[in-house]
Chains A and B, each alone.
Chain A
Amino acid sequence: MRPKDRYQRLGRSARLWRRTNEEPPSYWTEALAGAQPVYGERLVHAENRWLRRWEPNRSKLGAAIAKGWTEPLPQEGERWLYLGAASGTTASHIADLVGPAGSVYAVEKSLRPFARLLRLAERYPNLAPVLDDARRISGYLGLVPPVDGLYVDVAQPDQVEIALENARTFLRERSSFLLVLKTASMGRDRSPREHLESAIDAMHRQIEVEEEIALDPFHRKHYLIGGRPGRALFRPVEAYRARPPFRNRDSRVARES
């Protein structure tokens, strides 16, 4: 007979679980909206609750957790802003983590993934979908209040600028910041490692980077960067107005550092 599965809470999170009797261990979040899968993931009833398996191959944050990521993570009761939510795979897990007392504002601009996100939001009582472009903050500025955490997964050449601009507008001083860096979107003229370094340089003193991790082998050429707002983030905007010029996605022009 198969031995009984054992689950253990992970880190500070009350709603994140690890199944310890397997190698490598799998990670699970407490399902907020009943025993129904969101993207075909497995569900188990254990410890008197329904747990949804967090697939590292489908979710970048899931991959980071599978590789040992601990902080920062969404905590229970927090309010998060999620940019680039697509159809809500990762967003549903973040909604699980913040629980019924927290909330997640999910921004997505492509119509078809958004239609699926909207269906998900209808049964997730703490998820608020926003159909807008993360570059155009004024579109949702009036809808989204200041938040405890920002998660950015937009896969655009200017993803770092988008993240900083939103961090400046929505984060508070003790908030968390998570950025998924897709280096393939930033040109193939540099190695992923170099892209990571230039991104961290670009955030200098605006985001105090606490951790970064490569998401290999689940998501190739991706990094997760975690941190908190630095002192320079909230200084007047004029100091940071200088933005890099618009670059065509096809161009091979190296960005000046």
Chain B
Amino acid sequence: MAAAVLVRGGGRLYLVDVEEGSARALLPLEDTPEPDPAGPSSADALRRTLSRYPSPPELLVGEPSLGAWLEGIGLPSKPAPLPELRRARERLPDRPFALERSTFLQDAHRRLTEALASPEQTLIALAREEERLERVETREEGAADEWIGGATGDLAEYAEAWGTFRASVREHRARLLGRLERAAESVAPNLSAIVGPRVAARLISAAGGLGALARMSSSRLQLLGTRRRPGGRRGPKYGVLARSVVAAGPPPGREGAFARSLAAWAAIAARADATTRRSIAEMLLARRDARLKRLHAGPRT
């Protein structure tokens, strides 16, 4: 039985006859960057080509997605063995690179915009922006206050303008925070409940995504946002998580112990958010309160 390989090449679909010595039966089916598998024209063109064979050839596919498409239109296929696939791909006509490149650029733009517009990526962008604004407010404003403080004369006028500017930066950041918190609560409700939406957003941004965070061990999550200290001295206790550790108010001297527990709950919460999306926040909060009570009660538990 003859075999033909269905393969994408340079943004088109081709049916390549591997039995023949020549590059016969090359068929450009679609001229879109990613051939739309649901497109009726592809299916029709393929059927037309297949009808030219004396007996229907065995269909081999280069990619799983093409196999699924064939199954959808009622044609059986098998994954192409590598040697056949290589031979088929070498027979595809070389399209001029300049022509291909525009397909690549379009495709890249589309995929990048789509990916960046996802709720998770929006959250990461917001979290990074908020971090930047926080730096502006704490470091730069402090520096300005130092020398503008007791301004008189011309400088007083400037100081007033600066005050207006500062107020608008603060307002901007407050609005940003609102958006950030809403985004965090919708992307990661459990994590936001246990560590607070702002820290949740920063954790996700530091990990590079909710999926990446969910795959982390709690000990790694605990240290996100810190740098490893050089030398063999004791390492840091917490990074991004610090704010929520302090907010929970563990007894002095036991912050490290509390941070470990908090990281463990946060890891569980992130996994729930990334997979089942079940609400487990109440259970985790109850555990947190119990742990805090025990830490406050005795010297060592």
Contacts and interface: CB of A to CB of B under 8 A. Distances in A.
User: Which of A127, A131, A248 has the largest count of B CB atoms less than 10 A from its CB?
Assistant: A131
B107 to A, nearest CB: 8
Nearest to A131: B111
Contact of A131 (B89, B100, B112, B220): B112
B104 A234 contact: no
Contacts of B92: 145
A29 interface: no
B94 to A, nearest CB: 7
Contact of B63 (A121, A128, A138): A138
Give the interface size class of chain A: 20 to 34
Contacts of B81: 236-237
Interface stretch (B7-15, B135-143, B181-189, B290-298): B7-15
B86 interface: yes
Interface stretch (A17-25, A50-58, A108-116): A108-116
A153 B196 CA distance: 37
Interface in A92-109: 103, 105
B90 interface: yes
B219 to A, nearest CB: 8
A230 to B, nearest CB: 15
Interface in B161-208: 208
Interface string B91-134: 01010011011011101110110011000010000000000000
A106 to B, nearest CB: 9
B51 to A, nearest CB: 24
Contact of A111 (B65, B97, B115): B115
Given A115-B112, A118-B108, A236-B82, A142 B97 contact: no
A130 B108 contact: yes
A236 B94 contact: no
